[in-house]
Amino acid sequence: MGDVQFRFREDEPVADPGVTVDVFGSQTNATAVRLEPGDDARDLLPYLDRLKLIEVNFPVFTDGRGFSSARVLREAGYTGELRAVGELPVDHLALLRRCGFDAFAPDPPVNPVDAENAFARFAEVYQPTTDGRAPIWAKRHG
Amino acid sequence: MYKYDTYDQAMVDTRVEEFRDQVKRRLEGHLSEDHFKPLRLQNGLYLQLHAYMLRVAVPYGTLSSAQMRVLGDIADTYDRGYGHFTTRQNIQYNWIQLDQTPDLLAELAKVEMHAIQTSGNCIRNISSDQYAGAAADELVDPRPYAELLRQWSSFHPEFLVLPRKFKIAVIASETDRAAMKLHDIGIRIVKNAAGEIGAAFYVGGGMGRTPMIAPLIREFVPLDQLITYSEACLRVYNRYGRRDNKYKARIKILVHELGKDEYTRQVEEEFAHLLTQGIEPPLAELERIKAHFPDPAYEAGASDELDRSDPDFALWVDRNCAAHKQPGYMIATISLKPVGGIPGDASADQMRLMADLGLKYSFDELRVTHAQNIVLPHVRKADLYTVWQALEANGLGTPNLDAIDDIIACPGLDYCSLANARSIPVAQKLSARLAPRRAEIGELKLKISGCINACGHHHAGHIGILGVDRKGTENYQLLLGGCEGDDTSLGTITGPGFSEDGIVDAIETATQVYLVNKQGEERFIDTYRRVGMAPFKEAIYG
């Protein structure tokens, strides 16, 4: 697994790697968990208060279920670190961020200059998500 | 029609720069082909058999004449002087150089066009009724709703890595001219018992190797929940659509495997949740978009008379023109199906001519149809003869709308890397053979796909042809009884397939069976439905 290459949070990173959803179910003190693409993010909703880190794994970049997992968690009020891990092409970073991820551990790591460009590229957005950015329609009717 | 504001323009311009950067990284070797592929696909760029192919979006099939003119100029500058209009109301160029693509996209952006999400596993160009805003039978113009959905689906961060491609159609007429129920989501704008406008959602239709007709999952979604409901449909699909087998990854398989009721239950649950998330644009946004689609400034009291003294013109009017909601006007379809020609192709000069006609005689508007023709939506009856003469002089006056030689065909093995068989030569042979008998045969929708992916809509053809590879040779299966529209049905395979010449003979035989059995004003499809497959099979294989 790759190291965290980008993080948009001020708090201290959680050092422990996330446990699997199965293990999490039986470990009442775990504060970090890792979701695989087939896991249902809604299974975690009863435990959001005690979770400090949720890793969402992208074993292959062509499997986009993690995009929905992130939004489900943020929409339910999760405020801890939401970390995308696995195969994260530079051109997915800004989309992942819009879905609620605030930490990224791409494996393999990506070119930091390309990543900086990618995060900054689109000044406006058409859709509201939980990233707090006002959509274009809101600005039109501000 | 819709005009970009500075926001829309900035989105498209930014995309051009993003793609320029992606191409640069690819050419410099920083981006592998595996990683570049989904990026170029979401900009409409395919790697085909001989070259790159670029598919340019024509949102809900509507074009201004300036846009059509640029499409013609691009054909000259970047292609070999022609373009190919597609079954998703888009246009494709078949001979594109990768390194020139960013400049091409920049030229498109200048006239508010793009190739965003015309391919890839994302929400594709939203299609609509080619007669929108002009049809006598429509409730409202469906295009504002399609534009609202276009903006929502463009760069939607959650839905760009879907299990598979996703196609949406929006209509608002009694007559379905957009094959709405053969889409991943088909939306019909309707009026409920209280007189309110809303949307009926049909989800899980499609063609491909497992054709399915979309079931109705909700009769009425209020207009201020349209985006939220769409998002719920998509989220359930993104989370639970199959990703283990690309041939089972379309939403139709999910709806089929869960069952319509269970899929609907999950959507409703997600919808109830999403309603709390404030993701719906205000109705004021829909109103803002609607203001871009006013009725044109029709001439008051325009004459309803038509001089039909030229028999060739009268034939074209009867075959290619449709009733307009405004007295004194007609909807004219320009056939891109000349006898023996390549279905859907237009030369750069033809595109510029159509642009001129659109500007002069159709309030600066043209439409692309899913049957690969072009429409001038608002032509004064008094101008119709002049328009026809110009078309006729430029190979665009074929009077064959919905006739047997108005063939839909995919690019097939002449271009496409997915194809198993050629479609174009078969279409050309059929057109040459059967065009002389088009008047006798009447309405007959003939559709050809060069592989199981069904881009040529063969399942929905009154007569469909599916090209397959049989032990290394091209072989053509024949289907009868498919239909799009209100009475949507899927075609049935007649039996063993045919050679290229054999399929032409078999179809000619099928038309003879129809003519022998025809009662009254029956169309081919009506006769087929009444008499069934048996007499056709007997004549073809007997």
Q: B386-399: per-residue pLDDT in tens?
A: 999 999 999 999 99
| Residue A1: pLDDT over 70 | no
Q: Does A89 touch chain B (CB under 8 A)?
A: yes
At B62-83, the pLDDT tens digits run 999 999 999 999 999 999 999 9
What is the pLDDT at residue B126? 96
Q: Which of A122, A121, A127 is nearest to A99 (CA)?
A: A127
How many CB atoms sit inside 10 A of residue B479's CB? 21
Residues sharing a CB contact under 8 Å with residue B395, sequence separation 6 or more, in sequence order = B338, B350
Residue B369, helix vs strand vs coil: coil
Share of chain B above pLDDT 90, in %: 95
Low-confidence ranges of chain B (pLDDT < 70): none
Strands B329-334 and B345-347, bridge-based pairing: unpaired
Helix residue spans in B241-293 (DSSP H):
251-258, 260-274, 283-290
Report pLDDT digits (tens) over B191-217: 999 999 999 999 999 998 899 999 999
pLDDT score of B486:
81
Residue B391, H or E segment? helix B381-392
Asked if B192 and B179 touch (Cβ cutoff 8 Å), the reply is no
Consecutive H or E run containing B153: helix B143-153
CB-defined contacts A:B, below 8 A? 102
Q: Report the run of H or E that residue B484 belongs to, with start and end.
A: none
Amino acid in the structure at residue B495:
G
Beta-sheet pairing, A53-58 with A81-86: parallel
Instruction: Kindly report the nearest CA distance between residue B420 and chain A, in angstroms.
Output: 26
Nearest to B233 by CA among B208, B263, B206, B253: B263
State the average pLDDT over residues A88-92.
95
How far is the alpha carbon of B309 from chain A, nearest alpha carbon, in Å? 53
Query: Cα separation of B271 and B58, whole Å?
Result: 30
- Pick from B35, B235, B284: which is nearest to A68 by CB? B235
CA distance B64 to B58: 10
Of A64, A95, A124, Cβ closest to residue B11: A124
Q: State which H helix or E strand residue A20 sits in.
A: strand A19-20
Give the pLDDT confidence score for residue A21 in this predicted structure.
87
- B-chain residues within 8 Å CB-CB of A43? none
Chain A hits for B162, Cβ within 8 Å? 64
Tens digit of each residue's pLDDT (9 = 90 or more) over A14-49: 877 788 888 888 877 889 999 999 999 999 999 999
Nearest residue of B to residue A140, measured between CA atoms: B285
- Predicted pLDDT at B487: 87
Angle at the Cα of B264 (from B259 to B267), degrees rounded to 5? 130
Give pLDDT, residue B89.
92
3-state DSSP assignment of residue B310: coil
In B, minimum Cα distance to A63 occurs at: B161
Q: Mean pLDDT over all residues of chain B?
A: 96
| Residue B484 near residue B471, CB atoms below 8 Å | no
Task: Give per-residue pLDDT as tens, B212-261.
Answer: 999 999 999 999 999 999 999 999 999 999 999 999 999 999 999 999 99
Question: In this complex, do A122 and B243 lie within 8 Å of one another by their Cβ atoms?
Answer: no
| A71 interfaces chain B, CB cutoff of 8 Å | yes
Q: CA-to-CA distance for B62 and B14, rounded, in angstroms? A: 23
Residues of A in contact with B160 (CB under 8 A): 64, 67, 95
Contact yes or no for B277 and A75 at CB 8 A: yes
At B42 the three-state DSSP class reads coil
Query: Could you tell me which residue, A142 or B374, shows the higher pLDDT?
Result: B374
| Mutation site, B14, B122, B149, B161, interface A, largest A CB count within 10 A | B161
Which H or E element spans position B383? helix B381-392
Q: What's the 3-state SS for A115-135?
A: HHHHHHCCCCCCCCCCCCCCC
Cβ–Cβ below 8 Å for A67 and B35: no
- What are the DSSP calls for B522-535, one per residue? --HHHHHHHH-SHH
| DSSP summary character for residue B205 | -
C-beta atoms of A121 and B285 within 8 A: no
Predicted pLDDT of residue A16: 79
Cα(A111)–Cα(A90) distance, integer angstroms:
8
- Which whole number is the average pLDDT over A100-123? 96
Residues in chain B whose Cβ is within 8 Å of chain A: 5, 7-8, 10-11, 14, 17-18, 21-22, 25, 30, 35, 38-39, 121, 151-152, 154-163, 235, 238-239, 243, 273, 277-279, 281-282, 284-285, 288
